[in-house]
């Protein structure tokens, strides 16, 4: 009779076989995970999107930089006020001076070391820079501000930090709070698991986790966030294997760069380096003990303990972390007490809301040279021309003025929208871009994309073409009713804003008071083609409609388009394409691309100076007179108002000091408004320029082919050869000599208000209106 094993023996053999198979599979899994962990960890590179930096603050003696602006920058850049300046990031304010310790920074055009400076001010203006030894310093730069990043939606973002550069108290505090036995265990801590289990049983809820820092790193880098036993087992095996091949310092450094700390819109903030910049506006090595404890405390629940969303809860958690750091000997009793007294001191520029439209422009211009995947993953540094102070002031002025206009004119609250562009008038470097009343990342960028009728903003290119054809500011133009018959028999009958006609007037008056009939007649006599060519030559790259109404601005353009058209008109005739990018560098500082100013002469120098004098007259005594009255004379404002048909769009474009600015105000649903260019956009433009524009140092030298003529508002027909009356224009020499009745310095000149002077009704009305 054959031998038959018992059922128990058979079951035992099956179990043995299963155990052998399981052991083999387990060994295979361990071997695979070992290979996987080593390969993936050694090859791991963090996805770091391109980071965008604004223009650095330039400190130059004898400039127009004010003390309040410097203090604004120091606050925004995370500098800390201290009784005694000791290291980078410190500053002290005196009665008429600021002592500060700058931060070292590798600029794209060369590195600058940290240094101690003293800034002397007189009448609020920076007049002298000195080093710590009292020696004169010609100039210095603060490290550029971060504007944001360029990355795909839901992207991770981080600033990679080396362990040796991190504050020792932060590293020791992290270990004390999150994994006290980190330097004793081998990836898994049985003591930690037991302590967590005991605490959870005592509270009858999951209050603590038993994962080590190594396990947390494995989960963040390689695994999902689910809490299954299988996943936890895999995590534990991988943690042990990682510790077999990688030293503790490397693991700790990787963890501190990998860990998720906060969410900023669609951007996930990983690592302590970026978290310090986000929440405190300063490098990680300059954070205080209290700030380090706050960052450590947030690891337990980034949203739950967010100092922005839940400041009281975050403070309580921070203080608990400080208590642990004190108990574990990381900090002294004095440090503990001082840190607990410190407030939140969050970064005032957190969120970078005002920069959304500017970042949009940078992104668009970068795509002309770089692929999206390069910008999203290679960690490039984009150095731009954007001035965060101008951005901040522009957004504040936009919000303030739109609310004031709504209240003044009975417009529904919140219905007005606006957009503006600020650029350096000479170079075309863009300083600020505001895309709407509220700057929302990803929102509609009206500065670039809102194309609206521009009204009288196109009259300066018209009169430029007229002057290039041989006319000048004193040439008579006819401001009487005009009818233009189209090829299809249709009639175009433009009228002036006040529905009055003024007969024959000099060309300067037609521009300054924005007479539509005079412009329409002058444009048609000149030829529509000449007018369109003038606009295109000034930098407009889109197709213009071939209709007579284009002469009066019946064409849709964006504020960016208008800024490009006006740039050569206020720069002496040099066309410089508007640009926001200075240079692109690799993370190691190697320059990939440098974007230089490209100038092209599109207006004769004398013609440009004469044209600019007409725009200055418009801002002094024409429809833009609010600018002349409100701004300091040394800013030399010049520009033109624009109002679209039906008063749906209010515009102003012009220069003040070193800046060119274009402002649009209207509604997104194209409502008619009780606003003109003068009563709407001009007010916002003037308000902003008073804060951010600085006088230029260019000498006011008249071109050799031009002469000044001047006159008084009470007698606009009596011209003086020279600059000795209230109003003036730069006119061709032969025209000035022919038209001037008097010469500056003549003893027989009439006194203003005498019977010889004539009163002009139009100008009397204008002065009363303004």
Q: Is the dihedral of CA 621, 624, 625, 629 positive or negative?
A: negative
The vertex-683 CA angle with 437 and 460, nearest 5°, equals 105
Phi, psi dihedrals of residue 382, rounded to the nearest 5°: -105, 115
Mention every residue, 6+ apart, whose C-beta is less than 8 A from residue 416.
Answer: 402, 405, 406, 437, 665, 666, 667, 673
Q: Which of 539, 550, 525, 567 is nearest to 458 (CA)?
A: 550
Locate all alpha helices (DSSP H) within 588-680, ordered by sequence: 605-621, 625-630
Catalytic residue among 151, 306, 456, 571: 456
| Residue 581 structure tokens | 């990018």
Catalytic residue among 178, 258, 286, 509: 178
Q: CB-side exposure of 534: number of CA atoms within 13 Å?
A: 26
Q: What one-character-per-residue DSSP string does 395-461 give?
A: HHHHHHHHHHHHHHHTPPTT--EEEEEEEETTT-BEEEEE-SSS--TTS--HHHH--EE-GGGGHHH
250, 258 in Cβ contact below 8 A? no
The vertex-637 CA angle with 607 and 663, nearest 5°, equals 100
Give Cα separations from 308 to 297, 305, 312, 631, 657 (angstroms).
14, 9, 10, 39, 39
Active site residue 124: no
Q: What are the E-state strand segments in 349-400?
A: 381-384
Active site residue 514: no
674, 409 in Cβ contact below 8 A? yes
SS3 of 38-96: HHHHHHCCCCECEEEECCCCEEECCCCCEHHHHHHHHHHCCCEECCCCCCCCEEEECCC
Give Cα separations from 294 to 212, 311, 316, 507 (angstroms).
20, 10, 9, 67
- The C-alpha atoms of residue 185 and residue 243 are separated, in whole angstroms, by 9
- The C-alpha atoms of residue 563 and residue 427 are separated, in whole angstroms, by 12
Give Cα separations from 133 to 91, 115, 129, 136, 137 (angstroms).
17, 11, 11, 9, 11
Q: Which of 678, 681, 770, 667 is nearest to 411 (CA)?
A: 667
Q: Which of 596, 583, 597, 595 is nearest to 106 (CA)?
A: 583
Query: 596-602: long-range contacts at Cβ-Cβ below 8 A with a sequence spacing of 24 or more?
Result: 597/427, 597/428, 597/429, 599/574, 599/575, 600/574, 600/575, 600/576, 601/573, 601/574, 601/575, 602/537, 602/538, 602/539, 602/568, 602/573, 602/574, 602/575
Residue 308 CB: number of other CB atoms within 10 A?
15
SS3 content of the chain, % helix, strand, coil (to 5): 40, 20, 40
SS3 of 147-192: EEEECCCCCEECCCCCHHHCCHHHHHHHHHHHCCCCCCCCCCCHHH
Counting Cβ atoms within 10 Å, is residue 717 exposed (0-12), middle (13-18) or buried (19+)? exposed
Phi, psi dihedrals of residue 751, rounded to the nearest 5°: -85, 145
| Residue 510 structure tokens | 């037609």
Q: Which of 651, 680, 663, 770 is nearest to 411 (CA)?
A: 680
387, 432 in Cβ contact below 8 A? yes
Q: Which of 424, 423, 447, 301 is nearest to 364 (CA)?
A: 447
- The C-alpha atoms of residue 377 and residue 155 are separated, in whole angstroms, by 10
Place of tokens 């503990």: 336
Residues recognised as catalytic? 178, 456
């Amino acid at each position: 009779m054959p031998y038959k094993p018992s059922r128990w023996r058979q079951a035992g053999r099956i179990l043995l076989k299963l155990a052998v198979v399981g052991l083999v599979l387990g060994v295979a899994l361990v071997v695979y995970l070992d290979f996987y962990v080593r390969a993936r960890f050694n090859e791991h590179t963090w996805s770091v999107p391109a980071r965008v930096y604004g223009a650095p603050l330039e400190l130059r003696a004898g400039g127009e930089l004010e003390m309040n602006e410097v203090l604004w920058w120091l606050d925004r850049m995370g500098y800390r006020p201290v009784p005694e300046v000791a290291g980078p990031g410190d500053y002290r304010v005196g009665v008429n001076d600021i002592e500060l310790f700058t931060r070292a920074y590798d600029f794209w055009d060369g590195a600058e070391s940290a240094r101690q400076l003293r800034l002397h001010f007189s009448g609020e203006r920076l007049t002298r820079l000195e080093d710590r030894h009292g020696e004169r310093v010609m100039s210095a730069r603060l490290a550029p501000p971060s504007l944001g990043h360029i990355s795909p939606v839901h992207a991770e973002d981080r600033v990679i930090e080396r362990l040796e550069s991190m504050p020792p108290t932060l590293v020791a505090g992290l270990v004390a709070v999150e994994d006290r036995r980190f330097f004793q265990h081998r990836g898994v801590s049985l003591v930690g698991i037991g302590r967590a289990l005991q605490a959870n049983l005592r509270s009858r809820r999951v209050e603590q986790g038993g994962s080590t820092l190594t396990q947390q790193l494995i989960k963040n880098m390689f695994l999902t966030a689910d809490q299954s036993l299988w996943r936890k087992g895999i995590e534990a095996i991988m943690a042990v294997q990682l510790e077999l091949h990688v030293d503790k310092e490397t693991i700790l450094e990787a963890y501190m760069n990998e860990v998720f700390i906060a969410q900023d819109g669609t951007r996930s903030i990983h690592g302590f380096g970026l978290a310090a910049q986000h929440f405190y506006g300063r490098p990680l090595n300059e954070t205080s003990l209290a700030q380090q404890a706050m960052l450590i405390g947030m690891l337990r629940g980034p949203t739950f303990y967010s100092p922005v969303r839940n400041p009281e809860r975050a403070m309580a958690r921070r203080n608990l972390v400080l208590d642990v750091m004190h108990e574990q000997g990381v900090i002294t009793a004095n440090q503990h007490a001082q840190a607990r007294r410190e407030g939140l001191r969050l970064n005032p520029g957190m969120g970078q809301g005002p920069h959304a439209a500017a970042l949009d422009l940078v992104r668009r211009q970068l795509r002309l040279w770089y692929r999206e995947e390069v910008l999203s993953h290679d960690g490039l540094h984009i150095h731009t021309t954007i001035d965060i102070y101008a951005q901040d002031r522009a957004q504040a002025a936009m919000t303030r003025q739109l609310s004031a206009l709504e209240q003044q004119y009975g417009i529904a609250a919140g219905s007005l929208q606006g957009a503006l562009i600020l650029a350096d008038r000479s170079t075309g470097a863009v300083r600020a871009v505001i895309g709407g009343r509220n700057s929302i990342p990803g929102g509609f960028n009206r500065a670039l994309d809102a194309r609206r009728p521009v009204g009288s903003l196109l009259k300066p290119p018209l009169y430029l073409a007229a002057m290039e054809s041989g006319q000048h500011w004193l040439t008579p133009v006819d401001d009487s009713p005009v009818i233009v018959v189209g090829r299809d028999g249709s009639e175009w009958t433009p009228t002036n804003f006040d529905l009055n006609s003024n007969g024959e007037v000099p060309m300067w008056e037609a521009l300054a008071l924005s007479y539509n009939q005079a412009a329409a007649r002058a444009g048609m006599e000149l030829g529509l083609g000449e007018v369109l060519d003038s606009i295109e030559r000034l930098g407009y790259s889109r197709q213009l409609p071939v209709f007579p109404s284009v002469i009066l601005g019946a064409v849709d353009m964006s504020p960016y388009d208008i800024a490009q058209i006006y740039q050569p008109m206020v720069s002496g005739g040099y066309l410089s394409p508007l640009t926001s990018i200075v240079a692109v560098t690799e993370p190691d500082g190697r320059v990939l691309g440098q974007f230089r100013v490209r100038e092209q002469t599109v207006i004769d120098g004398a013609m440009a100076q004469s044209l600019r004098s007409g725009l200055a007259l418009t801002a002094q005594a024409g429809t833009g007179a609010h600018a002349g009255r409100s701004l300091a004379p040394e800013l030399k404002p010049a520009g033109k108002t624009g109002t679209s048909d039906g008063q749906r769009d209010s515009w102003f474009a012009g220069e003040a000091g070193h800046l060119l600015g274009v402002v649009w105000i209207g509604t997104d649903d194209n409502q008619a408004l009780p606003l003109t260019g003068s009563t709407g956009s001009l007010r916002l433009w003037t308000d902003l320029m008073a804060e951010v524009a600085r006088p230029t140092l260019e000498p006011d030298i008249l071109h050799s082919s031009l002469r000044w003529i001047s006159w008084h508002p009470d007698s606009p027909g009596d011209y003086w050869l020279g600059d000795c009356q209230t109003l003036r224009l730069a006119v061709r020499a032969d025209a000035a000599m022919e038209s001037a009745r008097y010469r500056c310095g003549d003893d027989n000149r009439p006194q203003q208000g005498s019977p010889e002077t004539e009163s002009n009704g139009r100008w009397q009305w204008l002065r009363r209106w303004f």
